[in-house]
Amino acid sequence: MFVWLGRWIHHARFTVIAGFVLAIGLSGLFGLGYQDRLSAQGYFDDTSESVLGTKLADATFGRDFDGDVIALFSTPPGRSITDPEIEAAGKALTQRLLTEFRTEIKDVTGYWNGSLVKNRFVDDSKTHAFMSIGLQGTGDTDSVEFYHRIRDQLTIPGVDVQVAGRVAVADAVGLTLQHDIERMHLIALPLVAIVLFFVFGGVVAAALPLIIGGLTIAGSWGVMRLLTEIMQVNQFADAVIQLIGLGLAIDYGLFMVSRFREEIAEGRTVEDAVRTAVATAGRTITFSATIIVVCVAGVLIFPMNFLRSVALGALAAVILAAVLSITVLPALLCVLGRRVDAFGLKRFSRTTSAAQIDASFWSRLATWSMRRPALVAYPIIAVLLLLIVPFFGVEFTGITEKYLPPGNETRSAQQDFDTIFPTERTNPIKLVITGADRQITGQIVAAADRTPGLTGQFQKPISAGIAAEGANVRVYQAGLVDPSVTDDVIARLRSITPPAGTTIYVTGMPALERDSIHGITDRLPVLLAILVIASFVMMFLAFGSFVLPIKATVVSGLSLTAALGFLAYVFYDGHGAGLLDFTPQPLSFPVLVIMIAIIFGLSTDYEIFLMSRMAEARNRGAPTPEAIRYGTAHTGGIITAAALVLIVVTGAFGLSDLVLMKYIAYGMIVALVLDATIIRMLLVPAIMRILGDACWWAPRWAMRLHQRIGLAEFETRPEPAEPTVTEEVSL
């Protein structure tokens, strides 16, 4: 198939380029501005008790707008909230918000609007007061837009104001994320161009992977715009597209261009070089992308729109990167031919023949690791396993203001509000009671009030004043003293047994977050099974072995455990928090799920590139040690360069102000560094040398099956010249 594809691309090269560029261009134009349609919601398990309770309460009373926006007012020394001029200004502000911004604001409650519980909105010192503003809209993108219209209007002369609340925090997270993506483009693209220039030694060759990366991003825009028409798409999907789409497209381009230049260096014609590159590198890219697609698609089993939308964004980017790399890129190489090395420095652009590669550092490194394989493999395995230890004590949480950088205005405002008004919470825990009369409701609430860990008794929220006609639903809420007691409080509340005909839903933001985490942990074994089975099946189809897929899964697992241990050591335990400018805290489990799928997929990706060249040599009759050395020598430099490109792209997100992006960036960097160096260049050759010819073993029935449906496809040509280090390979 791939040989035919390479031949067809050469004959239809101009049609291929024009057709794909036109289609991608139209997709990019359609997707322009899709970021404005992204959501800040979708983090919760739609099948959980807390979501069902929330939907019931919202259907009865309308959306809970308590805590949408909190304006915290603080008087200067010597002044008081009760001063007549401040009182008058506060009342005027309240009235103006209610009259001039009726399309943006649903309700305003606070110290200055004649509330019967006005003392709730002022502290004991009478130097701080707050105003709770409920916004129109769904509490998502539209409410954020309404917030933008009013946030500069919340002023009282001579009084300091800080703005917090759910919508304000969501807006700050979204703006920070957009800034991070813009900074990634400004930093990563120039650095990647420089890296590629030194890898290829020429401007033209270096530009080709960047062109594929740009086309991938543009094509993904259209796909994401289409998704926003049919589902809620979380704003983090945009960052994942930029990260995965750009990184993988450049990596795949790197592999394709490198193989083409290697064939040219061997004296082959342009047509033969393209055909061979597509038949070998193109085939490997297809397998690689397929495994990553299956790994990421496994995330779709989780019932959270956040995970689903991020997974769909990543799928679009990976598929486009692979398709463009095996079609448009080979077509460009056909047009350029030997001019692919144009505009370069001779010192760097010198093409390398197979004999020179066989005598390279990577060849010598593989040979060294195979001399004493046990002494190389076992210590590395032990160290990688030990790196997971810090992860065992990790706790998890949802999105909070602490994910914003220290010193962020919105984060400071939220924390000051929680400190000054400890019994008030913008994210309280709630009871939704249905089917109960007043007496039973009173008994349930009295039992709930005895729960340790609450800031006070359960009260009716402001937004639950008017019920739908005929509805028998009541809502009560209370704050949590500390997030660390969330699980105990929820368990205690859910242990309350109501009488027959009465149902209690424990909901509110703390319950929504915990149910989401439990929903993920319950389904995580299924995701891990999907990752393992997918990699096994695809690698068997590629190489016809049962042993290689098992070895690949173990090695990829070691890479993943090391990355998770690093994240726990740094972001949970707090080592390096001052240097990286973040607050140590429980980790975001949904983000870790995305990382698990991506890191496992990328790790298997590099494994396939390495194994494909080993299998190629084995297919020509090379003994196992020689196949190991040959594959490592011919992929070592390319895998390292590919990892470096991804490290540069992800490293730009390491400068993020948002700690969630720091997770992804530094976790992937650790995994990539380990994968491209210690694991691929030392551990894999050592393990395969220990296994010997057993690497290629499969049951006879599986061998026959592979001969019928296997997708192995190698170029048949004379055995490459024996390397100068052949005698070292005889171990």
Highest mean pLDDT among 313-327, 417-431, 709-723: 313-327
Where residue 382 falls among pLDDT bands split at 50, 70, 90? very high
Q: How far is CA 265 from CA 128, 202, 356, 433, 615, in A?
A: 75, 15, 11, 75, 22
DSSP 544-591: --SHHHHHHHHHHHHHHHHHHHHHIIIIIT-TTHHHHT-----EEHHH
Residue (of 117, 123, 106) closest to 72 by Cα position: 123
Query: Residue 366 in contact with residue 547, Cβ under 8 Å?
Result: no
Residue (of 440, 307, 434) closest to 52 by Cα position: 434
Distance CA 370, CA 341 (A): 35
Is the confidence at residue 590, as pLDDT, over 90? no
In this predicted structure, what is the pLDDT of residue 117?
64
529: Cα separation from own chain's centroid: 20
pLDDT tens string 515-542: 988 888 889 899 999 989 988 988 888 8
Torsion of CA 390, 395, 398, 403, to 10 degrees: -50
- As beta bridge partners, residue 508 has 429
- For the chain, what is the largest distance between any 2 Cα atoms, rounded to a whole number of angstroms? 95
Mean pLDDT throughout 458-478? Answer: 73
Is the confidence at residue 731, as pLDDT, over 60? no
Mean pLDDT throughout 51-56? Answer: 91
Structure tokens that stand for 119 in this block: 């003392």
Distance CA 541, CA 705 (A): 9
Torsion of CA 300, 305, 311, 316, to 10 degrees: 110
Is the confidence at residue 71, as pLDDT, over 90? yes
Residue (of 279, 272, 283, 285) closest to 334 by Cα position: 272
Mean pLDDT throughout 451-478? Answer: 77
Q: How far is CA 707 from CA 92, 327, 541, 544, 702, in A?
A: 82, 27, 9, 8, 9
SS3 466: coil
Query: Residue 564 in contact with residue 633, Cβ under 8 Å?
Result: no
Q: How far is CA 80 from CA 84, 121, 126, 632, in A?
A: 9, 14, 6, 74
In this predicted structure, what is the pLDDT of residue 334?
94
Residue type at 160 in one-letter notation = D
Mean pLDDT throughout 346-364? Answer: 68
In this predicted structure, what is the pLDDT of residue 114?
60
Query: Residue 196 in contact with residue 250, Cβ under 8 Å?
Result: yes
DSSP code of residue 364: H
| Weakest-pLDDT range from 158-162, 528-532, 589-593 | 589-593
Higher pLDDT, 112 or 493: 493
| Buried-exposed string 700-728: b where 16+ CB fall within 10 A, e elsewhere | eeebeebeeeebeebbeeeebeebebeeb
Is the confidence at residue 61, as pLDDT, over 60? yes
In this predicted structure, what is the pLDDT of residue 332?
95
Residues 6+ apart with CB under 8 A from 454: 429, 478, 479, 480, 481, 489
Is the confidence at residue 433, as pLDDT, over 90? yes
- Mean residue pLDDT of the chain comes to 86
pLDDT tens string 552-561: 889 988 988 8
Measured distance between the N- and C-terminal CA atoms of the chain, rounded to whole angstroms: 37
Residue (of 248, 236, 260, 239) closest to 192 by Cα position: 248
Higher pLDDT, 218 or 466: 218
Is the confidence at residue 719, as pLDDT, over 80? no
pTM for the predicted model, two decimal places: 0.82
Residue type at 126 in one-letter notation = K
Is the confidence at residue 514, as pLDDT, over 80? yes
Is the confidence at residue 381, as pLDDT, over 90? yes
In this predicted structure, what is the pLDDT of residue 726?
39
The H-or-E segment that residue 74 falls in is strand 69-74
Is the confidence at residue 303, as pLDDT, over 90? no
In this predicted structure, what is the pLDDT of residue 89?
92
Mean pLDDT throughout 449-476? Answer: 77
Is the confidence at residue 713, as pLDDT, over 50? no
In this predicted structure, what is the pLDDT of residue 178?
84
Residue (of 400, 393, 404, 398) closest to 568 by Cα position: 393
Distance CA 148, CA 138 (A): 15
Distance CA 138, CA 509 (A): 16
Residues present in the chain in total: 731
Is the confidence at residue 730, as pLDDT, over 70? no
Residue (of 245, 239, 243) closest to 220 by Cα position: 245
In this predicted structure, what is the pLDDT of residue 462?
60
Residues 6+ apart with CB under 8 A from 115: 109, 121
Distance CA 665, CA 571 (A): 12
Residues 6+ apart with CB under 8 A from 685: 366, 369, 370, 373, 628, 629, 632
Percent of the chain with pLDDT over 70: 93
Write out the E strands in 566-678.
587-588
Q: For 215-226, give the secondary structure using H, E and C.
A: HHHHHHHHHHHH
Residue type at 365 in one-letter notation = L
Distance CA 241, CA 221 (A): 9
Higher pLDDT, 80 or 663: 80
Distance CA 546, CA 543 (A): 9
Is the confidence at residue 427, as pLDDT, over 80? no
In this predicted structure, what is the pLDDT of residue 723?
43
Q: How far is CA 598 from CA 311, 518, 568, 607, 668, in A?
A: 10, 21, 18, 14, 9
Query: Residue 456 in contact with residue 526, Cβ under 8 Å?
Result: no
The structural domains of the chain, ordered by start, are 1-32+201-322+339-347 (1.20.1640.10), 68-164 (3.30.70.1430), 357-405+544-731 (1.20.1640.10), 421-514 (3.30.70.600)
In this predicted structure, what is the pLDDT of residue 711?
57
Q: Give residue for tokens 């322009």.
A: 32
Where residue 729 falls among pLDDT bands split at 50, 70, 90? very low
In this predicted structure, what is the pLDDT of residue 440?
92
Is the confidence at residue 340, as pLDDT, over 60? yes
DSSP 162-199: EEESHHHHHHHHHHHHHHHHHHHHHHHHHHHHHHHHHH
In this predicted structure, what is the pLDDT of residue 189?
83
Is the confidence at residue 710, as pLDDT, over 80? no
In this predicted structure, what is the pLDDT of residue 25?
94
Residues 6+ apart with CB under 8 A from 584: 571, 572, 573, 574, 577
Query: Residue 651 in contact with residue 336, Cβ under 8 Å?
Result: no
The H-or-E segment that residue 329 falls in is helix 328-336
Structure tokens that stand for 534 in this block: 């997918």
pLDDT tens string 235-281: 888 888 888 888 888 889 888 998 898 888 888 899 999 999 998 88
Query: Residue 589 in contact with residue 303, Cβ under 8 Å?
Result: no
Q: By CB neighbour count within 10 A (0-12 exposed, 13-18 middle, 19+ buried), where does 495 fall?
A: exposed
In this predicted structure, what is the pLDDT of residue 550?
92
Mean pLDDT throughout 343-364? Answer: 68
Mean pLDDT throughout 444-454? Answer: 93
Residue (of 612, 608, 2, 620) closest to 279 by Cα position: 2
Is the confidence at residue 297, as pLDDT, over 50? yes
Q: Residue 474 phi/psi, 5° resolution?
A: -130, 145
Structure tokens that stand for 474 in this block: 């009541």
314: Cα separation from own chain's centroid: 9
Where residue 451 falls among pLDDT bands split at 50, 70, 90? very high
Distance CA 97, CA 108 (A): 8
Mean pLDDT throughout 564-593? Answer: 87
Residue (of 357, 509, 423, 378) closest to 51 by Cα position: 509
Residue type at 207 in one-letter notation = A
Structure tokens that stand for 455 in this block: 């800031």
Where residue 35 falls among pLDDT bands split at 50, 70, 90? confident
DSSP code of residue 152: G
